[in-house]
Amino acid sequence: MAKTPTTPAAKKSAKTSAPAKKASAAKAAARNTDSGASRPEPARDADLAAQRMEDVQATAAAMPFNATKAAEHGAAQGLEPAIGQLVTPPSRLATGSTLSESQAGAKVGTQAPEGRNATIAPLDRVRVDSSGQPLTTNQGVRIADNQNSLKAGTRGPVLLEDFVLRDKITHFDHERIPERIVHARGSAAHGYFESYEALDELTMAAPFKAAGKRTPVFVRFSTVAGERGSKDTARDVRGFAVKFYTDEGNWDLVGNNIPVFFIQDAMKFPDLVHAVKPEPHHQMPQAASAHDTFWDFVSLMPESTHMLMWVMSDRAIPRSYATMQGFGVHSYRMVNAQGESVFVKFHWNPKFGTHSLTWDEAVKISGADPDYHRRDLWERIESGAFPEYELGVQVFTEEEAARFSFDILDATKIVPEELVPVRPIGRMVLDRNPDNFFAETEQVAFCTANIIPGLDFSNDPLLAGRIHSYVDTQISRLGGPNFHEIPINSPIAPVHNNQRDGMHRQAIHRGRVAYEPNSLAGGCPFQAGAAEQGFSSVAARLRAREDQAKVRAKPELFAEHYNQARLFYESQTPAEQAHIAAAFRFELSKVTVPAVRERMVASLRNASQELATRVAAGLNMPLPEPMPLAIARVPKPEVKRSLALSLMARPGDGSVAGRKVVLLAADGVLGEPLMAVHQALFEQGAVPRIAAPRIGPVQTADGVDLQADVSLENEPGFLFDALVLPDGEAGVDMLGRNGHSFEFVRDQYRHCKPILALGAGEGLLRAAGVSASLPSGAADPGIVIDKDADSGVEAFISALARHRHFERETDPPRV
C-alpha cells in the first residue's frame, strides 16, 4: 500500500489536487463534442467552454417538457393558436455556433447581431458602383490585360491555365436563366403605396393600418403569351403584379389588366397555355392568339366567352402601362383583428385614365418600336411624370355573395360595380426605375401564396392552383429554393426560420438549432401565435354554397357562361363595340379550320346576337345555330349595363401629362408659332418633339432657332399621341414632297388622334385626303385648324385631353 506524502510540498499538493482536478475535468469535458458528464460542473472561472456548457444545460432544463403540446388539439387551437414556448438563455454563449465568434476579421466581420437577420436590409447593401475602380476577376484579383488571352507565344495556342479567360467566359456562358413560361416579357419599377385611411374594421393588414402609411412596392407589368423577346403591343392580357414590402412580410398582389380569366379551374391552365402558345409543330405565331389551337380550345370552353370579350376589346392593346387598369382577378378575404372576415376584390385605377391603341396602330408600332410600352414606362419615370394608380376594393359578405346570380369563386365573373361599389383605399406611385434589369425585373419572383396577416384566400379553384404553381416555377427558374434571398425578392420585415441549405444560400445562421420545438436555442425562433398577430387562415371558409364532401366538380352557377359576356359588350360605347367585332373578325379570319370559326360564332350568339351577326358578316359566313347552353335555367342578372366597364368612362384627371406630341418641321417653316405650341405643350406636362426630314438644325423662314430631335423616318407618326403641322409655305411644300409626311397625317387621322394645322399646314391635310369634317358632315372636334398659335394650341390641348376622337372612325377606314 502506498504511503501518504509527508513533505511540505507533497502536503500542499494533496490539499489542492482534488478541486483543481475537478475543475480541469469540467473544462476538458466542455471541450468535447460527442459526450459529456451526467451533470455539468459549474464554471468556477472565466473558462468560456465550461460556461457555455453550464448555460446550455440551464436553457434546456428550463423546458422540461413541451408546454404548448396540449394546446395543439381541438377547434379552439385553430382559431387562436398559442404563442410558442420560449425561455431566455443565461447568455449568448448558449445559442452560438462557435466560441470563436468573438474573433473579428475583414471577411468574417464580427458576431451576429442579436435577434436580427443582417441579410434583410435596403438594396443599398448589394448595389455596386465601379467608378474609379480597376477591373478584377470574380475573386477580386486585379486584371492587368483584358484584351488578350494567355498564349504560348504570340501565335501559339491559348493555354488552359488562363484563369482570367475561363472566369470571364464561364460566367458569360451561364448568364441566361430560363424565362417564365407565361408573363415572360415584362417591365418593372419601384415605388410606394400610401394608404388613405386606417381600415381596422376590415383588416389588420400592415399597409392599411394608418392614414398616410407608406409601403415600398415593386411592380412588374408583362404580356402573357409572348416570349421574353416578343413585342410589347401584341393583343394579349397584361400582367399587373405588385410586391408590397410590408413591415409584416411580403404581400404579392399578382393580377392582370383584365378582371376575369379564361378558365374556372387550375386543372385547365396547362391546356390554356399550350393552346395559346405558338403551335408546337412550327412554333408560330409568336405572341398572338390568332391561330387554330387557341380558338379550337376556347370555342370548346364556353366559360371563356366573357374573357374573350375583354381580350377582343381595346383593353388588350393598352396605350401604356400608365393608362391601364389592374385587377386582383380572384375573390380574396380581408380579416380584422377580431378574426372577422369579408370578401374583397382589388382594383387598380390609373390616374391618367384608361386609354388604348387601335389595332392598326399597334401592328405598326410593333415593327417600329417593339419596346413601346417598356420605353414609355422608363421615360415617364425619368421625366418625373410618375405613373400613379388608386387602389380600390369591392367588399361584400358571405351572405351578400350567396344572393348574387353568379358564384364569386368563379374567376370568369366580375362583381359589377353597380352591385358593390369600388371603395378607394390608397394610391400607388411608381417613382424609380430599376438599376439593373436582370437583377431586379428579371429575377423578381411573384407568388399569390405570399400573403400577410389580415388577408386570406377564398376557395376559388383557379387561385388554389396559382398558390402552388408560382413557387414551383420559381424554384426551376432561379436555381433552387433560396430565390427569396435574391435581393429584389427579400422582404424588409425580419426573416427568422429553420430553413437551411439549398443552392445559392446567402444567409449564415448562428447556432446549431434548425428545428422547432427546441430547447437548446430557448425555443427560438418561436411560433408567433395569434397573440403576436401571426398569420392564421380563416377558419370558417365560404359556408355559402359550399359542399361538404370532397369532389371533383364545379358549383352549379359556374355553368352560366354568357350573362357577364353580354354585360361587358352591352356596356361598351358604339366605337368600342365596333373594335370588339373587328378584333373577332381579324382573329377568326386567321383560323384555317372553318369548323372552329363556326363554333366560336355559335358561342357568340349566346352573348350577343348583334355581335355574332357582325362577326359572321365580316367573315362572309352564314350565321350558325347558337351553341347549346350548359345550364338548364339561366339566372337573371342583376345588372344589364355597367358604365364602369367602358374605357371611355375612365378619361383620367384631364391632363395631357406624359402624352407624346410630334411637331413636323422642314426648312422654310415658321419657327415662332411652332415653338409657341411646343412651349405650351411642355408646360402642360406633355412630351413635344420636333420631327424633320433630318435630325438637327432646321432653317426657319423667320430665323427662329429650331432643332429636330427625331427624323420622319426614325420615329414614325403612329408612335405619337397627336400631331402638329407647321405654318410656312416653303416648309409645308418641302414636307409635301416627302412621303413620310403623309404617313404621319394619315396614321394620326386613322387612329383618331388630335391634329393641329397651323396656317399653311392645312394644305398637308388636304393633300393627304384628310377632311376636317366627320362622316356625318359635322366638324371634326379632333382637327384644329388655326393661323394663330395661341388660340390653336388651346383648342388642341382640349382635344388632346380627350385622347381619341372615335366619331371620325369608319370601317373600313376612309383614309
Q: Which residues are catalytic?
A: 183, 256
- Which residues, in sequence order, are CB contacts of 560 under 8 Å at separation 6+? 405, 406, 630, 631, 634, 635
Query: How many Cβ atoms from other residues are within 10 Å of residue 570's Cβ?
Result: 17
Name the grid cell of 298.
376556347
What's the length of the chain?
815
Are the CB atoms for 255 and 327 separated by under 8 Å?
Answer: yes
The dihedral through the CA atoms of 380, 647, 389, 346 has a sign that is negative
- Which residues, in sequence order, are CB contacts of 156 under 8 Å at separation 6+? none
- The phi, psi pair for 425, rounded to 5°, reads -130, -5
CA-closest candidate to residue 309, choices 233, 232, 237, 404: 237
- Which residues, in sequence order, are CB contacts of 302 under 8 Å at separation 6+? 561, 562, 603, 606, 627, 630
Distance of CA 815 to the CA centre of its chain: 39
Alpha carbon distance 598, 206 (integer Å):
51
Radius of gyration of the chain (CA): 34
- Which residues, in sequence order, are CB contacts of 565 under 8 Å at separation 6+? 305, 306, 308, 309, 607, 608
What's the N-to-C CA distance of the chain in angstroms? 125
- Which residues, in sequence order, are CB contacts of 31 under 8 Å at separation 6+? 49
Burial (CB count <10 Å: 0-12, 13-18, 19+), residue 162: middle
- Residue 525 preceded by cis peptide, ω within 30: yes
Alpha carbon distance 360, 275 (integer Å):
25
Alpha carbon distance 480, 475 (integer Å):
5
